[in-house]
Chains A and B, each alone.
Chain A
Amino acid sequence: MLTSIRVELIKLKRSKIMVVALAGPALVALLFFALQASGANLRAWPFYFFAGFTAWATFMLPLTATIIATQVAQLEHGPKTWAHLLALPVPKWRLFAAKAVVALGLIAAMSLLTGALLAFGGWLAGALNPANKLMDPAPLASLAETMMSDEDRMFGEMDVALMVKHWRVAVAERLAYIYLASFLLIAVQLWAAFRFRNFLIPMALGVGGGFVAIFAQGSEYGIYFPWLMPFNTLGFMPEKVQMALSLGLAGGILALILMLIDMGRMQIK
């Protein structure tokens, strides 16, 4: 399996996939740096990060996943190398699994990069103008505790005080949740990208999914929509976060397994 992954990484050499993939994290970071630097002060680091993550989870992550999945498949569709690849004495599923691992790895890297570039943008905005400096909210944890009503606790809202106190952990956790909840949409994108030679089909699916997600946010069934699952991990209702995470991750793993079974039977005419 490691060899198959290594082979996929060799194929990425000189391909433009990384340049295109970098656009998502860079645009999110640039947007929030511009907002912070122009005086739309988000005041505290966690607010700044959560705002940035919302943009990432809602639009840029699905778009990045669409581009990466399509490109990974087009590496074979473009030059028509599937026949050669699948005629080798290597289990077919392993060749597709290696591609899926590389796609998941690249999207994980882009998620981390989004967090890192957001942090750099926030720091830079403060460094350029101290008035725009973001503050560490940890000392205000007790204040947050007093602001949380019994009603909030009764309805299962997250413990804001704890989040404020350990905001760095909370931010890292949410970034990981967003990524893990995106497994289902990544699996769907990979499946479409492998199945259809025409790259417009997976691209249309990705853009269409992202578009529908905007309107599905208010729907009670929105929780089941793969393109909304990353966004839903940013909520403050633990059940909703847990649901998005479970459906996205478990559904994604199941979809990836089904995809491997289906692609292992692919007929090359």
Chain B
Amino acid sequence: MSAIETEDLRKRFRGVNAVDGVDLSVPTGAIFGFLGPNGAGKTTTIRLLLGLLSPNRGRIRIFGDDLHRSRKKALKSVGVAFETPAHYEHLTGRENLNITRLLLNLDKSEIDRVLATVELTHVADRLVKKYSLGMRHRLGLARALLGAPRLLILDEPTNGLDPVGIREMRDLIKTLPARTGATVFVSSHHLAEIEQVASHVAVIHQGKIVFQGGMESLRSLHAPRLEIGCSDIAKATELLGGGARKVEHKGARISIDLAAADTAEVRAAAVNRKLNEAGIDVHHLAISPWTLEELFLQLVGAAPAVRQG
């Protein structure tokens, strides 16, 4: 059974389809990355999944329970942390958690358990208004973990965090399925971030899913490129252009699409050797990952229909 299953999900705002025929299938036990630029429809989809918005069309099932027909049962399996961590600032972290605990009818010991999971025990009795942004994010995650939900929905969990905070949050997310047994649905507009944590991914663009599948399938679509700067660009382009991969002449540099990330270094060395043997001096050789924008161009430009990986 899928943790989340949506069928032709659609939401219109003032005549514009913010979410347009979204079919999601999130496997149980996965860390599912939901990738898309700002305004692509990620947050609207999440709000539909939580029943905060009513869809104009389509169905949502959470662990097989129809959200519309059995909202309470479906949402019992879900914990959520929103993009902007919203808490009662005049209350302590513990008091904030106690509010959700009471509404979920859970044991008091749950508060200490989730505080320990997100490493906030030492500041639990401090007023939230004195928390840093990173602490607020972690308190939001702790709140989502109350009651050990089977599905965790994390909307842009690293938004606004500094590099240290991002790494801490990423490490925490990575360990969640093993520590809690939960399926994690995490949205982001950072391709690299999703690549580091997710086992499965869906890419949303202008309200439509343009890719859905395993992380490996996505990686094969956007294997890194090799950028070359050398003494004779024209000759090098001609020399390297014989292969199946795409070779582009970009100003004073050449860009080659590599077959796969794991063989990138071997391929770079081979290219370097080939150019040297032809008497061309190489002064720049760099393996560079794709940006999210480039990935979208690839996905949307090459295949307007949904690509399944």
Binding site for B on A (CB under 8 A): 3-4, 6-7, 10-11, 13-15, 75, 79-81, 83-84, 86-91, 265, 267-269
CA distance A89 to B89 in the complex (A): 23
CA distance A4 to B192 in the complex (A): 42
Neighbour of B102 across the interface among A7, A79, A265, CB < 8 A: A7
Instruction: Let me know if B95 and A10 touch, CB within 8 A.
Output: yes
Contacts of B99 in A (CB 8 A): 7, 10-11
- From residue A57, how far is it (CB to closest CB) to chain B in Å? 32
Instruction: Let me know if A84 and B73 touch, CB within 8 A.
Output: no
Contacts of A84 in B (CB 8 A): 80, 82, 86, 100, 143
Task: List residues 52-99 of chain B with CB under 8 A from any CB of chain A.
Answer: 52-54, 71-76, 78, 80, 82, 84, 86-91, 95, 98-99
Contacts of B86 in A (CB 8 A): 79-81, 83-84
Instruction: Let me know if B52 and A83 touch, CB within 8 A.
Output: yes
Q: B105 on the interface (CB 8 Å rule)?
A: yes
Q: A83-B50, A89-B75 are in contact. List 16 more A-B contacts (CB 8 A).
A: A7-B102, A10-B91, A13-B95, A81-B87, A83-B47, A84-B82, A86-B51, A87-B75, A88-B75, A88-B100, A88-B103, A89-B74, A89-B104, A267-B52, A268-B47, A269-B44
CA distance A265 to B99 in the complex (A): 23
CA distance A90 to B147 in the complex (A): 14
Instruction: Let me know if B143 and A10 touch, CB within 8 A.
Output: no
Q: How many A-B residue pairs have CB under 8 A?
A: 76
What 5 A-B pairs have minimum CB-CB distances, sorted nearest first? A89-B75, A268-B52, A87-B50, A80-B86, A89-B76
Q: Could you list 6 A-B pairs, sorted by A, with CB under 8 Å?
A: A3-B102, A7-B103, A11-B88, A11-B91, A80-B86, A86-B51
Instruction: Let me know if B73 and A6 touch, CB within 8 A.
Output: no
CA distance A11 to B90 in the complex (A): 8
- From residue A102, how far is it (CB to closest CB) to chain B in Å? 14
Instruction: Let me know if B88 and A75 touch, CB within 8 A.
Output: yes
Instruction: Let me know if A6 and B102 touch, CB within 8 A.
Output: yes
Chain B 279-295 per-residue mask, 1 if CB under 8 angstroms from chain A, else 0: 00000000000000000
Known contacts being A3-B103, A88-B100, is A267 close to B53, with CB within 8 Å? yes
Contacts of A3 in B (CB 8 A): 102-103, 105
Contacts of B98 in A (CB 8 A): 10
Contacts of B82 in A (CB 8 A): 83-84
Contacts of B90 in A (CB 8 A): 13-15
Instruction: Let me know if B88 and A267 touch, CB within 8 A.
Output: no
CA distance A7 to B100 in the complex (A): 8
